[in-house]
Amino acid sequence: MKHTLYLVIFIINTALSIFGQEKQLTPLSHSADESLLKSETYVMDWLFVTDTTEVKIGEVVTQIQKKNAVIYIITQVKMKQSKSEWVDSTTVATGSFKPLYHASYNEQRDMVLKFDKQIKGYYLDKKTAIKTEILEETQQPFFDSNFYPQLIRLLPLKDSYSASISIFDYNPKSKVGVIAATVKNTKKTTLNFNKTSIPVWKVEVTDDISDNNVLNTYYIDTRTRKLLMHEIDFGGRKMIMRLSE
């Protein structure tokens, strides 16, 4: 009887744990509102923060185009101390946001990923001139790690909203494969933007890319769902991406 009681308690606790877990967001299961994603081009100033001083170190230009059944996202990073640009191109399917293609080029490395039943492409380390052919098998659905920051502003945000997002990232110096990004906390607040107080969703996110050691905080306009500011906190240091208008 005593063993039976322990078994019942174990089953109940296990069931409560399972039902208490949030379902991970994937292209096969998500509640993102695609209508909130518009074809547009916007610029964000990239700032490094020391105490209360902000120093502009570059800017990020993002182009979003929705054509037929595909969403194209092109990001150009222009650093003040570098003559070369960092260009990322990402394409995903409309509706599901299933990844189709991702290319990234900068002065340190080039990378191309083509998503199908397998993930094929290459990674070229420009410092060593070593080119690695990529052929990855995955057993679960995922979003491209380069797309998930856009996905966040499309989610049904509300106070205390949290979620786990399945993403794929390729970085031979850290992790390769299907990992997770975690929306840790969401709350409605206001942001002083261009001398105007704007209602925003403040969304805190970490991911396995940085072993959850980097805190990304997104400030998203509650009405337009535009990303107004993105704070990056890591190792006691801070950077800010702020919409330039």
Model confidence pLDDT, tens digit, residues 173-191: 777 799 999 999 999 999 9
What pLDDT is recorded for position 16?
Answer: 36
Whole-structure pTM value: 0.88
The mean pLDDT of 148-156, rounded to a whole number, is 96
Joined tokens for residue 124: 């070229």
Contact 221, 198 (CB under 8 A): yes
Give 240's pLDDT tier (boundaries 50, 70, 90). very high
